[in-house]
Amino acid sequence: MTPPRKAQPPSFSSQEFRAALGMFATGVTIVTARTADGQVIGLTANSFNSVSLDPPLVLWSLAQAAASLPAFRAGSHYAINVLANDQKALAERFALKGADRWSGVNFTEGLAGSPLLTGAAAAFECFNRSRYDEGDHVIFVGEVERCSWRAGASPLLFHGGRYYTEHPVQG
């Protein structure tokens, strides 16, 4: 019996890998939660994806080095806020380390207190179902307990290291 094949070492640099990944256009989210002591936390993430319709599951990932990782690991719930095209400034603010991310940000309380950002294109309120350590990130799978969306909202997009607030013109 032949042993299973293993992955070959990469033939590219980290910068080349990042550049190639940047060619995949994504939406932009801010993942929010409350810590055990009631503090609101949140961060910009474009590593969001659907997993299953039945049960309704979504996933996102967070760097092992992120300061908020212990809170997201320990928490029972979080919300994934899909940003609208007029929320670029929020995406940039929640991507900064050490910044006061919440000053002046309007939100309502979701399930288990997870902040739902006012004006978001969509929101997914999730039970923190499972976590998987993979490479330098942790993959979170959330079971969606409630979702909402704003009809007619256009999403904020991220491609090639830049935010886009308008969709390309289709001919």
Q: Where are the alpha helices (DSSP H) in 22-168?
A: 69-74, 88-95
pLDDT at residue 168 in the model = 55
Which residue reads 């919300």 in tokens? Answer: 79
Residues in the chain: 171
Residue 144 burial class via C-beta count within 10 angstroms: exposed 0-12, middle 13-18, buried 19 and up: buried
pLDDT at residue 86 in the model = 96
pLDDT at residue 93 in the model = 96
- Name the CATH superfamily housing domain 27-150: Electron Transport, Fmn-binding Protein; Chain A (2.30.110.10)
Residue 124 burial class via C-beta count within 10 angstroms: exposed 0-12, middle 13-18, buried 19 and up: buried
- Structure token digits, residue 77: 């719930």
Task: Going residue by residue through the chain, which has 171 residues, state the pLDDT in tens, using 9 for 90 and above.
Answer: 788 889 888 899 999 998 998 888 899 999 999 999 999 999 999 999 999 999 999 999 999 999 999 999 999 999 999 999 999 999 999 999 877 899 999 999 998 899 999 999 999 999 999 999 999 999 999 999 999 999 999 999 999 889 998 865 544
Q: For residue 12, give every residue at least 6 positions away whose Cβ sits within 8 Å of its Cβ, in sequence order, or none.
A: 20
End-to-end CA separation in angstroms for the chain = 55
User: Amino acid identity, residue 144?
Assistant: V
Q: CA dist 99 to 1, 34, 39, 41, 142, Å?
A: 56, 17, 15, 12, 27
Give me the phi and psi of 93, to 5 degrees please.
-65, -45
pLDDT at residue 111 in the model = 83
> pTM of the full predicted structure?
0.91
- Inter-residue contact 50 to 82 (CB < 8 Å): no
Domain residue spans of the chain: 27-150
- Structure token digits, residue 38: 């009631």
